Amino acid sequence: MNRACVLVVIIVAAACTKSSEREPGDFERMRIQQRDEPYAASGRLAIDERMRHPPAGTMSRESEADSGAIGSGTSAGQPVTQVPLAVTPELLALGHEKFDVFCAVCHGAGGFGGSIVAANMGAPRPPSLRSAAVQALPPGFVFNIATKGIGRMPPYAPQLTARERWAVVAYLEQLQRSTSTSAEQREDSVRAIGIRGIDSTLAAEQQR
Amino acid sequence: MPALFPHWTNTLARATLIAVLCTLVGVPVALMAWVRTPNATRQYEPVAQPVAFDHRIHVTGQRIDCRYCHYSAERSSYAGIPPTSVCVPCHSTAWMSSDVLAPVRQSVSSGRPLRWNRVDALPGFVYFNHAIHVNKGVGCESCHGRVDRMAQVYQAAPLTMSWCVNCHRNPAPHLRPLSAITTMGYVSQRELGPQLAQKYHVRSLTTCTTCHR
């Protein structure tokens, strides 16, 4: 009888942990799981982030940075003079989309160098992309500006893949060739459709 | 021989039975109703952040697209918190010396990322993927609400399973053209939904393994 009691106590005690070892959310152990979330902070490592940086001097296998003209924008040390990808309507559409998100913020949707951000930025202002000087730049040079940044412009390699940056360059070339300077393009705007959305709701609210 | 119990104990016995039944049913029902209220889901509750970042200024005021900062939303399962290096180019002149941006300056000098607090937290057993929603026509606004009007971001949707499944059963009315994916205040067009569902190959996915692994 006594042995049976001891056995029961041992079995029950095996399920115990010290209260200090229990996480506060222990009642929710499915909800809060023991796995690392991206962007989460970590108390365990010398560095705060759970997402790890690649070791210095290494690059990922997927990186396009050094893979010929498409990755570097240069050929034999000189910036390439043509977009090294097939300029298809799909590529231009992609370039249009990315231009509106990442470039138009400062350079304006039409590339005239005017936007709300640019107006609030102070000198030096972002230049117009429609000027003769910018139009004369070879595509490989423009690609490298998008990759590495220039002056106050930050590098956009983290945001855009090489293909996306080439798409932006191809779209910019198309934009520079276009003679249409509609009010919408001239407008200090980021994204015409989004702005129309915001403006129409603002107008509706003011009417109410 | 007189009765052992007086007559009113019959009523007491019946009342007790009813009360026990009501408790057995009522308490779980009340708890289930409670977890669906905004009190329990933390809906509409602004989350304090280390930097008083105002989305109204950046989205409505400066007309910056959501994806300028949350650029991994289209290709990753996480929309992404922008690194401090995204803030700095604009703010190197604008407001950089203000007290509001003190944590940003600290992050720049120390090289340590800002510790933003999570607003839309899903349970660990839900595997949500931003990219598939954004690329198939579910706009930012559909789940995150009018971020362009939020001084402090709060959770706009209840994020309960019934809320997710509601759209998963019939996604078409919630779809918008990809060109309007970040538009705030998008007015949905009834007849456009089924067309977009066909165009983007959107299916109703309601199997457990869609979200749970």
| Of B29 and A74, the one with more pLDDT | B29
Q: Across the interface, do A190 and B85 touch by the CB < 8 Å criterion?
A: no
Q: Provide mean pLDDT across the span A115-132.
A: 82
Q: Provide mean pLDDT across the span B178-187.
A: 88
Residue A31: inside a domain: no
Cβ-contact A147, A169 below 8 angstroms: no
- Cα angle, residue A166 at apex, residues A96 and A180 outer, rounded to 5°: 40
Residue A180: inside a domain: yes
**Can you tell me whether residue B75 is helix, strand or coil?**
coil
**Mean pLDDT, chain A, as a whole number?**
77
* Four-point Cα dihedral A101, A105, A111, A116, nearest 10: 150
Give CA–CA dist B55/B146, Å, rounded: 10
Instruction: Look up residue B29 and give its two tokens.
Output: 């029902």
Q: Provide mean pLDDT across the span A82-99.
A: 91
Grade residue A36 by pLDDT with cuts at 50, 70 and 90: confident
A154: nearest CB among B65, B89, B123: B89
Q: With the C-alpha atoms ordered B73, B74, B77, B83, is the resulting torsion angle positive or negative?
A: negative
Q: Across the interface, do A154 and B65 touch by the CB < 8 Å criterion?
A: no
pLDDT in the model for residue A69? 82
Cβ-contact A171, A96 below 8 angstroms: yes
Residue A52: inside a domain: no
In chain B, % of residues over pLDDT 90: 63
Give CA–CA dist A104/A184, Å, rounded: 12
| Of B107 and B2, the one with more pLDDT | B107
Asked if pLDDT for residue A197 goes beyond 60, the answer is no
Total residue length of chain A:
208
pLDDT in the model for residue A22? 53
Contact A68/B at CB under 8 A: no
- Residues of chain B neighbouring A39 (CB-CB closer than 8 A): 78, 80-81
Residue A45: inside a domain: no
Instruction: Classify strands A74-75 and A78-79 as parallel, antiparallel or unpaired.
Output: antiparallel
Residue A36: inside a domain: no
Alpha helices, DSSP H, located in chain B: 9-34, 38-41, 55, 66-69, 84-91, 102-110, 130-135, 140-144, 161-169, 192-199
Asked if pLDDT for residue B141 goes beyond 70, the answer is yes
- Residues of chain A neighbouring B64 (CB-CB closer than 8 A): 105, 117, 190
Residue A21: inside a domain: no
Asked if pLDDT for residue A23 goes beyond 60, the answer is no
**Can you tell me whether residue B162 is helix, strand or coil?**
helix
- CA distance to partner chain B, nearest, from residue A165 (Å): 14
Residues 6+ apart with CB under 8 A from B156: B43, B44, B143, B144, B145, B146, B147
Range of the domain at A152: 68-207
pLDDT in the model for residue A195? 44
- Classify burial at B11, counting beta carbons within 10 Å of its beta carbon; exposed 0-12, middle 13-18, buried 19 or more: exposed
What was the ipTM of the complex prediction?
0.84
Q: Model confidence over A135-181: pLDDT tens digits?
A: 999 999 999 999 999 988 999 988 998 899 999 999 999 988 876 66
Residues 6+ apart with CB under 8 A from A180: none
Residue A77: which CATH number? 1.10.760.10
Q: Domain extents for chain B?
A: 9-41, 55-81+116-210
pLDDT in the model for residue B46? 92
Q: With the C-alpha atoms ordered B61, B63, B64, B65, is the resulting torsion angle positive or negative?
A: positive
Closest CA to A85 of A69, A74, A101: A69
Residue A32: inside a domain: no
Total residue length of chain B:
213
SS3 of chain A: CHHHHHHHHHHHHCCCCCHHHCCCCHHHCCCCCCCCCCCCECCCCCCCECCCCCCCCCCCCCCCCCCHHHHHCEECCEECCCCCCCCCHHHHHHHHHHHHHHHHHHHCCCCCCCCHHHHHHCCCCCCCCCCHHHHCCCHHHHHHHHHHCECCECCCCCCCCHHHHHHHHHHHHHHHHCCCCCHHHHCCCCCHHHHHHHHHHHHHHHHC
Tally of domains within chain A: 1
| Of A73 and B175, the one with more pLDDT | B175
Q: Model confidence over B81-134: pLDDT tens digits?
A: 999 999 988 888 777 778 889 999 999 998 888 889 999 989 889 999 999 999
Q: Across the interface, do B65 and A101 touch by the CB < 8 Å criterion?
A: yes
